Amino acid sequence: MIISGKIEETREQIKKWKREGFSVGLVPTMGYLHEGHQSLMEAARRENDKVAVSVFVNPIQFGPNEDFASYPRDFEKDAALCERTGVDLIFHPEAEEMYDEDFCTYVDMDGLTKELCGKSRPTHFRGVQTVVSKLFHIIPADRAYFGEKDAQQLAVVRKMARDLSMDIQIVGCPIIREADGLAKSSRNTYLNAEERQAALVLSRSLTEGKRLIEQGERDAQKVKRTIQAVITQESLAKVDYVEIVDFADITPLRNLEDARQGEVLCAIAVLIGKTRLIDNFIVKVDKAKKE
């Protein structure tokens, strides 16, 4: 397994593989890897000859009062997990390698980024799009793998790739959860024992919402209220948002049947103590069910 912190060296290696006729899958991450990340690597492993993983805590996607400094890091453990999973290359640059002192070019988007996490994290997606674009230039992969855990990010990256005619296929992968339902996240390490227990309210509330939809409910307000009511019962939890949107363009839905491609995203962000956690589910809503 190759480990490189340098842009040019990484690009040369990927170009060499491409010249040799190998397909390349890329998994962008911020490290502190867990089974969620690993599932993306395994998908990339199945579908490509070579797998590259980037491990980079991207400063420009964090707001001024967010957790950039305290974000968990353990590169040795990450490298061991990558090695075990059959990764061929890890790109692990320093921030100075990615961003020159006079760096001033960003990738931004008018739609999709304003709702959900964009409301409380107004510069977050600009940072994500910019770093993902850079990674796509440094590692010109055939496919890039993103988790549905960050469903808005997946939708934004897909749209960016389409709008900017990027020659890469964006592959979405399902959410990996702990045995008790909590979505795996590097940020779960911030939770103390009591908060860890309280955090179960995220998946529990979503299960309730999903059940309503499966029973035929199509009124987004009613589903949202049910989810909110479950979260409110947990005293350590504070709702940032509960939203139901069209997964294709992240616009709010009143009726679930209005999703243009039939895919509805129900997404929540909840503060458990000081830790902000996100979770979601995506459902296909069959228009015919109404009649």
Annotated catalytic residues are 37
Name the residue number minimizing CB distance to ligand AMP: 147
Which helix (H) or strand (E) is 170 found in, with range?
A: strand 169-173
Q: How far is the CB of 166 from ligand AMP (least distance, A)?
A: 16
Buried residues in 187-207 as b, exposed as e (16+ CB within 10 A): bbebbeeebbebbbbbbbbbe
Q: Tell me the residue type at 159.
A: K
Draw the binding track, 140-179, toward ligand AMP (x: CB under 6 A; -: no contact): ------xx-xx----------------------x-xx---
- Under the criterion CB under 6 A, does residue 30 sit at the interface with ligand AMP? yes
- Under the criterion CB under 6 A, does residue 186 sit at the interface with ligand AMP? yes
- Residue closer to ligand AMP by CB (options 16, 63) is 63
Helical packing angle, 200-214 and 220-232, nearest 10°: 150
- Under the criterion CB under 6 A, does residue 244 sit at the interface with ligand AMP? no
With CB under 6 A as the contact rule, the residue among 14, 24, 26, 40 that binds ligand AMP is 40
Judge whether 143 and 278 are in contact, CB under 8 Å: no
With CB under 6 A as the contact rule, the residue among 6, 11, 18, 184 that binds ligand AMP is 184
Q: DSSP string spanning 229-281?
A: HHHHT-TTEEEEEEEEEETTT--B-SBGGG-TTSEEEEEEEEEETTEEEEEEE
- Residue closer to ligand AMP by CB (options 42, 115) is 42
Residues binding ligand AMP: number (CB under 6 A): 17
Which helix (H) or strand (E) is 40 found in, with range?
A: helix 35-47
- Residue closer to ligand AMP by CB (options 189, 261) is 189
Report the interface residues with ligand AMP, using CB under 6 A: 29-30, 36-37, 39-40, 146-147, 149-150, 173, 175-176, 183-186
